[in-house]
Amino acid sequence: MTAPGWYPDPSGAPNQRYFDGNQWTEQQAPLVRKKRRVWPWVLLTLFVIGALVAGGMYAAYKFTTGNAADLQAAEAGSTVRDGNFEFVLNSVEVAEDWSGDPRPQGEWIVADITATNISDQRATFDCSNQLLIDTQGHEHSGSWDAANAIAPRSGQFEMDPGASADVKVPFDVPVGTTADRLVFRDTMISRGAAVKVS
């Protein structure tokens, strides 16, 4: 036997009718529809959109910069250009007597470079945009903090048009790493210009 209560109208009308346990009464009420939960779908949609945007940004970054280890490298001592800067690699050495902070996880390899602003406006040089590629093809970014430990405010600084600066760029690499080339970049998303270490 069916319990008394409100049920969809058996005649098919878009409302509810009351069943008293024995028969349908003439009492009617609007059909109450259950509200669907929308927020899980909204969250899922936002997550999917976010993943697509992040994936697209990563693909655009990789398309723009490519793999730095695949860049054709100029001979040691060559002058190369990327964006607002012209770069010359003067030397690359392991920092044998590093005693300050930050401490490397492995060891510091320090590149002595000359950067020149070749644009007609002020440009920012940033050590962390520079890459060292080792003989195994691994990329190592320049350390802003370690550059500042060598010379205050040398990790990132503004340069006037035509100005040049000699900068020491440290790279934290595993002990025993051999540097193959450096990739000089105006910005972290520029393709860069590679120079052989020797």
What is the structure's pLDDT at 82?
Answer: 96
Can you give the residue range of the structural domain that contains 86?
Answer: 69-196
- Residue 49 inside a domain? The answer is no
Q: Assess whether pLDDT exceeds 90 at residue 107.
A: yes
112, 166 Cβ separation under 8 angstroms: yes
Report cis status (omega within 30 of 0) of the bond before 10: no
Q: In this structure, what DSSP letter does residue 142 have? A: B
- Residue 23 inside a domain? The answer is no
Pull the structure tokens for residue 98: 């590093």
Q: Which residues of 183-192 are buried (b: 16+ CB within 10 A; e: fewer)?
A: bbbbeeebeb
- Residue 183 inside a domain? The answer is yes
Of all residues in the chain, the percent with pLDDT exceeding 70 is 94
145, 152 Cβ separation under 8 angstroms: no
- Residue 116 inside a domain? The answer is yes
Reduced to 3 states, what is the DSSP secondary structure of residue 145? helix
Q: Assess whether pLDDT exceeds 70 at residue 64.
A: no
- Residue 32 inside a domain? The answer is no
pLDDT tens profile 10-41: 888 888 899 998 899 989 888 777 777 778 88
Structural domain count, the chain: 1
Cα 198 from Cα 107, distance rounded (Å): 20
Q: Kindly report the CATH number assigned to the domain that includes residue 78.
A: 2.60.40.1240
How much is the CA Rg of the chain, to the nearest whole Å? 33
The residue behind tokens 């025993």 is: 176
What is the structure's pLDDT at 138?
Answer: 94
pLDDT tens profile 111-127: 999 999 999 999 999 99
- Residue 91 inside a domain? The answer is yes
- Residue 121 inside a domain? The answer is yes
